[in-house]
Amino acid sequence: MTYHDVTIMGGGPAGLAAALSLEARGLSVAVLERAAQPRWAEPAFDGREIALTHHSVSVLKELGAWDHIPQVAISPLREARVETGRSNHPLTFDTQGRGVEALGYLVSNHCIRRGLYLAASQRPGIRLLGGTSTRHIRRIGDEMTVVHGGGEITSRLAVGADGRFSQIRRQQRIGAVMHDFKRAMLVCRMAHDLPHHHVATQWFDEGQTIALLPVNGGASSIVLTLPVEQIERLRMLERDAFNTEIMQRVGGRLGNMRLVSTRHAYPLRGVYAHRFAAPGFALIGDAAVGMHPITAHGFNLGLKGQEALAQEIGAGLARGESPGSLSVLRRFERRHRLATAPLFAATNGIATIYTRDEPAFRVLRQAGLRVADALAPFKSAVTNMLMDRNRAA
């Protein structure tokens, strides 16, 4: 048996970021990750491109992870467009008048994970345990004991950060609202002849939703949402036939396109935990809130969640409270719920309206985009949310 102030179960971005944030406040942290150490340290490309807000970039810089991300892997996002149908007025967002070069920055998920791992591996107060699965957790008095394949760790706080299908959440008997969108998304990189000018496009076409995310090197990340069986067919399709079909699906807007990466498929399910905290226990990342990717805000909310947890624990320590104190964790829970509940509900509503193809929904989408594009205060508010340049207190 070993002792650490905090044990985090799940070594993804939220778990590693939380470890760095808590260690910076003087706490010793153990991170348990099911993936073997080599695969954890050097994660493979998984197709996902993360749209980082300015706030998230500042968090990654503060945690020491940003310096480990190659500059060539950071693609500025200078404009965002939302379209519906084949020839309709787009809703556009840009940085005009804000004195910055980009709305945000696109970085591959595996690069972020690697940067956070390298930063955590260099911190003396963090112990990284790869190839380690949690068997169960028991609470004795004010301490939490995490039983894993290699022994036991006793801590003042245990944190679940093992994704939206969290086993840790279920072990703690915490339920969740789950919304199955009956769709899957295919993600991959494709090179193309025409320039993207660092413009991201979210396109709601009949029968499909496509996101074109600009990355460096004359390529874009393609995010295609379709029924599950169609996604599986495309994932297995021969390369030349795949290229041809994707060019048809995007209307030839990027010229000739060719697959330059592996293809990955993910089910679309939203998750919102009934509780984010219990005595000696907290949920963060997708284990707490797993967003539909339509607003590209899930990762940023995950970073904010771990930041809120660390800040509330830091404030509690200054008052003489334990990291696992229920009063500390309730303050974190209230704060994170206020930040996520409205956006989770709005995102699910948008995903429903913009992915249904009945005539009434198509008319509503077209009218909505025209009205929204004409409303300067609305566009300014959405742009500010997309950029998120304000650091939390």
**Counting beta carbons within 10 angstroms of the beta carbon of residue 360, is it exposed (0 to 12), middle (13 to 18) or buried (19 or more)?**
exposed
Q: Report pLDDT for 146.
A: 97
Q: At residue 378, does pLDDT exceed 60?
A: no
- Closest listed residue to residue 39, CA positions, set 63, 21, 12: 12
Q: Report pLDDT for 203.
A: 87
Q: What is the mean predicted confidence (pLDDT) over 222-226?
A: 95
Report the alpha-carbon distance of residue 276 to residue 24 in Å, rounded: 22
Q: Report pLDDT for 232.
A: 97
Instruction: Pick the most confident of 82-86, 193-197, 387-391.
Output: 193-197
Q: Report pLDDT for 82.
A: 85
The domain made up of 182-267 has a fold known as D-Amino Acid Oxidase; Chain A, domain 2 (3.30.9)
Structure confidence by residue, pLDDT tens digits, 289-301: 998 877 667 899 9
**Dihedral (C-alpha) 346, 348, 353, 358: value to the nearest 10 degrees?**
-160
Percent of the chain with pLDDT over 70: 88
Q: List the single range of 17-31, 50-64, 86-100 with lowest mean pLDDT.
A: 86-100
Q: Report pLDDT for 345.
A: 82
Quick check: 213 and 200 in contact, CB under 8 A? Answer: yes
* Comparison of pLDDT for 356 and 143, the residue scoring more: 143
Q: At residue 315, does pLDDT exceed 70?
A: yes
Q: Report pLDDT for 358.
A: 64
Where are the chain's structural domains? 2-76+102-178+269-387, 182-267
Q: At residue 108, does pLDDT exceed 60?
A: yes
- For the chain, the average pLDDT equals 90
Q: Report pLDDT for 94.
A: 85
Q: How confident is the model at residue 380 (pLDDT cuts 50, 70, 90)?
A: low
Q: At residue 362, does pLDDT exceed 80?
A: no
Structure confidence by residue, pLDDT tens digits, 150-181: 899 999 999 999 999 999 999 999 999 998 88
- Closest listed residue to residue 287, CA positions, set 178, 164, 134: 164
Q: Report pLDDT for 31.
A: 98
Q: Report pLDDT for 373.
A: 59
Structure confidence by residue, pLDDT tens digits, 47-62: 999 999 999 999 999 9
Q: How confident is the model at residue 392 (pLDDT cuts 50, 70, 90)?
A: very low
Quick check: 333 and 275 in contact, CB under 8 A? Answer: yes
Q: Report pLDDT for 366.
A: 62
Q: How confident is the model at residue 119 (pLDDT cuts 50, 70, 90)?
A: very high
Q: What is the mean predicted confidence (pLDDT) over 197-222?
A: 92
Structure confidence by residue, pLDDT tens digits, 263-283: 999 998 899 999 999 999 999
Structure confidence by residue, pLDDT tens digits, 59-90: 999 999 999 999 999 999 999 888 887 666 78
Q: What is the mean predicted confidence (pLDDT) over 96-116?
A: 89
DSSP string of 302-334, one letter each residue: HHHHHHHHHHHHHHHHHTT--TT-HHHHHHHHH
Decide if domain 2-76+102-178+269-387 falls under CATH 3.30.2320.50.
Answer: no
Q: Report pLDDT for 204.
A: 84
Q: What share of the chain is helix, strand, coil (3-state, %, to 5)?
A: 40, 30, 30
Q: At residue 347, does pLDDT exceed 90?
A: no
Q: How many residues does the chain have?
A: 393
The string over 10-21, giving b where at least 16 C-beta atoms fall within 10 Å of a residue's C-beta and e elsewhere, is bbbbbbbbbbbb
CA end-to-end distance (rounded Å), the chain: 37
pTM summary value = 0.91
Q: At residue 46, does pLDDT exceed 60?
A: yes
